[in-house]
Amino acid sequence: MQYQSQMVAKPYFIAAIGLFILQILFGLIMGLQYVMGDFLFPEIPFNVARMVHTNALIIWLLMGFMGAAYYLVPEESETELFSPRLALITFWVFLGAAGLTVLGYLLVPYSTLAEITGNSILPTMGREFLEQPTITKIGIVIVALAFLFNIGMTVLKGRKTAITLVLLIGLLGLAVLFLFSFYNPDNLVLDKYFWWWVVHLWVEGGWELILGSILAFVLIKVTGVDREVIEKWLYIIIAMALISGIIGTGHHYFWIGVPEYWQWWGSIFSALEPLPFLMMTLFAFNMVKNRRRNHPNKAAVMWALGTTVLAFFGAGVWGFMHTLAPVNYYTHGSQLTAAHGHLAFFGAYAMIVLTIISYAMPLLRGRKAANSALSQKLEIWSFLLMSSSMVLITLLLTTAGVKQIMLQRMGEHPLPFMQVQEQLAIYFWLREGSGMLFLIGLIIYVASFFVGNSEPEAEVAA
Amino acid sequence: MNEVFTKSMARNIFYGGGVFFILLFLALTFDTVQQLPKLDNRAALTEQVAHGKALWEENNCIGCHTLLGEGAYFAPELGNVYQRYGNSTAFIKAFLMTRPKEGVPGRRSMPQFNFTAEEREAIAEFLKYSSQINTAGWPPTIQG
């Protein structure tokens, strides 16, 4: 760590891990409700558990992105952060808003939450992933503005690099696109059309830029490869992300009441969406292969490589599987969609946040370069356990999805939804078991922060 | 990558490609919005339907169900529930009314939302309106 103000990243990373734990616990509740329908009913109905699961994910990823920005921008810009104080204030505002929102979900019926937060004045609630009360959304906008101001001013007064520029464009895109969450017309088709401008253009637009720039930063640090080479890769990867991903939004426009030409635009461009992820994998492995030095933080290198591989499979391969319109006609909104969602989010976004945490946290906690060998060993075990159990979850949901499609959407006598769900119970049980494995991985991950702290730093083998 | 392909070339592809595809996307969006009146069943968009949509949102129905295939995969697709039960709103209203407060032992059950008769009517009308949007033939079967 070269600049004192990078320290503000620490609370963001800690809060991110806390919300990650919350997300997984509610994921396990939902998984159980899939097979024991009355579990926690009516206290925590499925929809409430799901809101906590998905919203905690979004908030912890945003916390992670912000922490990453506060960590890497001063170092890249070679200057102290514009205002560390503002960064800490926005942290507490953000965490407070997130905490109150989760309590609101859990303590009162959702319709009551809508009523007491004045949803009827500016109705934005009750749409998938955008369930937050309108005042929470306004809070998110204020936090995002303060954050962008802080980061923007830091970039302006210091050295400008491709990494900070790309990060800034990604963050700006994230903030601007979120404004579409305030647009909620009565017309369902228009509502859905622009809802995707937040959801798709985040994950296959702005967020990919953020992902790319965090990855590039970590790779420069751990491989010592020349910045020119890494930044060239970064530009070409994110160029492909935008070229394929923007029109690729069309793969969500097949069946929601818009013109059918979207079946062509969406199929063709989204078929290209695996490319940036493939290039990211090649990029990371090439840089590590051509490294100029061995970094003692092996765990961080592992996360960096792992995120590109699982992002390629989860977002790339599993996305491609059902992105062509004639296939999507049968798969749309099935367990196959859930399979893709899990591996894509974990591989691309959860793991990139865990990558920067793995790289930065030892430095933020006073180490020179890396944690002790023992601590890293635990972290690598948690990496292996979480990654493989998420792959398992994906394979099980994929199998369940294929069976669901065959029973419910094909053949002479398609079966009703609930009858099909009963036939999928075995996969859902196994998925819950895999989720427990994931939880064990997560516990080991958290333990890695507390174990081996008194031991000396790991060193590079001669 | 070799020296012929420089960083500034990569940067130009990023900016050029990004701007070009944003503009193309806006153009397609403009055309889509022009064509929507033929497809989105807006003639049926009454105040009652709008009220139904508000109730749909304020009770987070999307947290369990899908609507036109989007949402959660815990409960049945509702984009064609109107057709599934005999092209009628009667079943939808009756179903909303009869959900057991404490659920069904061992099984998934929709919560009892205690809607008034007028609210049940609005939700049913909203689902009827949704079912008549032109979805290019989706879903493949009546089971959603």
> How would you label A417-426 residue by residue, b for 16+ Cβ within 10 Å and e otherwise?
beebbeebee
Q: What is the pLDDT of residues A152-207, one digit of tens each?
A: 999 999 999 999 999 999 999 999 999 999 999 999 999 999 999 999 999 999 99
Cβ atoms within 10 Å of A250's Cβ, excluding its own? 26
Q: Which residues pair with B107 in a beta bridge?
A: B104
Tell me the pLDDT tens digit for each residue of A67-118: 999 999 999 999 999 999 999 999 999 999 999 999 999 999 999 999 999 9
**pLDDT tens readout for residues B8-46:** 999 999 999 999 999 999 999 999 999 999 999 999 999
A330 and B71 in contact by Cβ < 8 A? no
Q: Does B58 sit within 8 Å of A114, measured CB to CB?
A: yes
Report whether A342 contacts A438 (CB < 8 A). Answer: no
Residue-range domain boundaries for chain B: 1-38, 41-144
Structure tokens at A137: 């959304």
Structure confidence at residue B116 (pLDDT): 98
The answer, yes or no, to whether residue B1 has pLDDT greater than 60, is: no
Q: What is the pLDDT of residue B4?
A: 85
Q: What is the percent of chain A with per-residue pLDDT over 70, rounded to a whole number?
A: 100
- Alpha carbons A380 and A298: distance in angstroms, whole number: 8
A223 pLDDT band (50/70/90 cuts)?
very high
Does B28 sit within 8 Å of A409, measured CB to CB? no
Buried b (16+ CB within 10 A) or exposed e, A378-408: bbbbbbebbbebbbbbbbbbbbbbbbbbebb
Q: What is the DSSP string of A197-236?
A: HHHHHIIIIIHHHHHHHHHHHHHHHHH---HHHHHHHHHH
| CB distance A87 to A70 below 8 Å | yes
Q: Are A207 and A349 in contact (CB under 8 A)?
A: yes
Rounded CA-CA distance A103/A278 in Å is: 40
Q: Which residues of A touch B135 (CB under 8 A)?
A: 255-257
What rounded mean pLDDT belongs to chain A?
Answer: 97
Q: Categorize the per-residue pLDDT at A412 as very low, low, confident or very high, splitting at 50, 70 and 90.
A: very high
Residue for token digits 């994998």? A281
- The residue count of chain A comes to 462
A–B: how many Cβ contacts below 8 A? Answer: 233
Topology of domain B41-144 in CATH is: Cytochrome Bc1 Complex; Chain D, domain 2 (1.10.760)
Q: How confident is the model at residue A460 (pLDDT cuts 50, 70, 90)?
A: confident
For residue A330, list chain B residues with Cβ-Cβ distance below 8 A: 140
Predicted confidence (pLDDT) at residue B3 exceeds the cutoff of 80: no
Quick check: ipTM above 0.95? yes
Whether pLDDT at A219 is above 80: yes
Nearest CA in chain A to B44: A187
Q: Is the pLDDT of residue A438 over 90?
A: yes
CB–CB contact A263 B22 (8 Å)? no
Tell me the nearest-neighbour CA distance from B35 into chain A, angstroms.
Answer: 7
Which of B58, B64, B109, B127 is the best mutation test for A, with the most CBs of A within 10 A?
B58
Q: Which helix (H) or strand (E) holds B70?
A: strand B70-71
Q: What is the pLDDT of residue A177?
A: 97
Calculate mean pLDDT across residues A119-140: 97
* A194-216: pLDDT as tens digits: 999 999 999 999 999 999 999 99
A127 neighbourhood in chain B, CB within 8 Å: 57, 62
Q: What's residue A1's pLDDT? A: 84
- Answer whether the bond into residue A42 is a cis peptide, omega within 30°: yes
Are B7 and A235 an interchain contact pair (Cβ–Cβ within 8 Å)? yes
How far is Cα B108 from Cα B75, in angstroms, rounded to an integer? Answer: 8
Task: List the structure tokens of A452.
Answer: 């081996």
Helices (H), A37-133: 46-77, 84-107, 110-116
Residue A234's pLDDT band, with cuts at 50, 70 and 90, is very high
Angstrom distance (rounded) from CA B96 to CA B119: 10
User: Domain locations in chain A?
Assistant: 1-160
Name chain B contacts of A126, Cβ cutoff 8 Å.
Answer: 56-62
> CB contact, 8 Å: B17 with chain A?
yes
* Residue B4 touches partner A, C-beta closer than 8 Å: no
pLDDT digits (tens, 9 = 90+) for B50-86: 999 999 999 999 999 999 999 999 999 999 999 999 9
The rounded radius of gyration (Å) of the Cα atoms in chain B is: 22
What local confidence, expressed as pLDDT, does residue A462 receive? 53
Q: Closest Cα of chain B to A54: distance in Å?
A: 10
H or E stretch at A185: none
Residue A40 has pLDDT above 70, yes or no: yes
Q: Is the distance from CB of A157 to CB of A150 less than 8 angstroms?
A: no
Beta-bridge partners for B66 = B71
CB distance from A42 to chain B under 8 Å? Answer: yes
Contact A356, A67 (CB under 8 A): yes
Structure tokens at B122: 């609005």
For the cut 80, the answer to whether the pLDDT of residue A147 exceeds it is yes
